[in-house]
């Protein structure tokens, strides 16, 4: 999720502070809704099943098997929901730009439009837990590309969530990232309120 935070700040820093008006008010409002869904989904991942030590009563003697199996099932379900929200947000974000952007919007300064779209659609994943393990696999975007024409825009990582401490650490990271995303959401809300009427958004 750190990639989402960095990319969002890059785009919003240009989009919301420019003297030029953003094109397509309806898309800007869609972006607000999509980012709001991302913030809500991150909160669910952080607070629902992630940071459990597996001794909780409701994890014991379940139809899923061992406590770790139930933990893995529900965390993966939360991650899948978050992944869908993030992909939708990233695709909407690529449409944010000014009138002089003929294709790709602001993000075209950082990624090839076709490469970005295909990667987000087919490969991007905020994370999933391996079957029969506690390893979280992440396929994110490289938020600091130096070559616009690079075909390798992915950044792959994994986190071992075997220990309670590692789960708490990831939880705190997600909470901090979500605070930053929420601050960006408030900036976008203020921009919409200051620049558009209801008729612009209908």
- What is the model's pLDDT at position 20? 85
- What is the model's pLDDT at position 145? 75
DSSP 73-127: HHHHHHHHHHHHHHHHHHHHHTT--BTT--SSTGGGGTS-HHHHHHHHHHT-EEE
Q: Could you tell me the two tokens for 60?
A: 């014991």
Question: How far is the CA of 123 from the CAs of 46, 154, 155, in angstroms?
Answer: 23, 8, 11
Please check whether residue 1 is in contact with residue 177, taking contact to mean a CB–CB distance below 8 angstroms.
Answer: yes
Helix (H, G, I), strand (E, B) or coil at 62: strand
Distance CA 121, CA 193 (A): 31
The domain in which residue 132 lies consists of: 2-15+24-201
Q: What is the domain count for the chain?
A: 1
- What is the model's pLDDT at position 103? 64
Q: Could you tell me the two tokens for 119?
A: 């990667």
Torsion of CA 164, 165, 167, 173, to 10 degrees: 160
Torsion of CA 125, 35, 31, 96, to 10 degrees: -60
Distance CA 4, CA 14 (A): 16
Half-sphere exposure of 34 (CA within 13 A, CB side): 22
Please give the average pLDDT of every successive group of 10 residues along the chain, which has 202 residues. 95 91 91 98 97 92 91 97 98 88 78 89 96 95 77 91 97 98 97 89 80
Please tell me the pTM assigned to this model.
Answer: 0.93
Burial class (CB in 10 A: 0-12, 13-18, 19+), 61: exposed
- What is the model's pLDDT at position 199? 83
């Amino acid at each position: 999720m750190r990639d989402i935070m960095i990319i969002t700040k890059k785009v919003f820093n240009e989009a919301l502070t420019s003297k030029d008006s953003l094109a397509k008010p309806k898309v800007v409002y869609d972006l607000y809704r999509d980012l709001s869904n991302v913030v809500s989904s991150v909160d669910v991942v952080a607070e629902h099943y992630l940071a459990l030590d597996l001794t909780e009563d409701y994890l014991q003697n379940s139809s899923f098997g061992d406590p770790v199996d139930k933990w893995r099932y529900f965390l993966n379900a939360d991650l899948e929901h978050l992944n869908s929200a993030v992909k939708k947000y990233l695709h909407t974000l690529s449409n944010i730009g000014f009138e002089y952007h003929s294709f790709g919007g602001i993000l075209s300064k950082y990624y090839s439009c076709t490469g970005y779209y295909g990667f987000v659609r087919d490969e991007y994943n905020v994370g999933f837990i391996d079957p029969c393990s506690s390893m979280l696999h992440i396929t994110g975007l490289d938020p600091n590309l130096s070559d616009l024409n690079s075909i390798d825009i992915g950044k792959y990582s994994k986190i071992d969530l075997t220990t309670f401490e590692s789960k708490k650490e990831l939880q705190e990271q997600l909470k901090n990232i979500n605070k930053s995303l929420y601050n960006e959401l408030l900036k976008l809300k203020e921009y919409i309120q200051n620049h558009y009427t209801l008729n612009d958004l209908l």
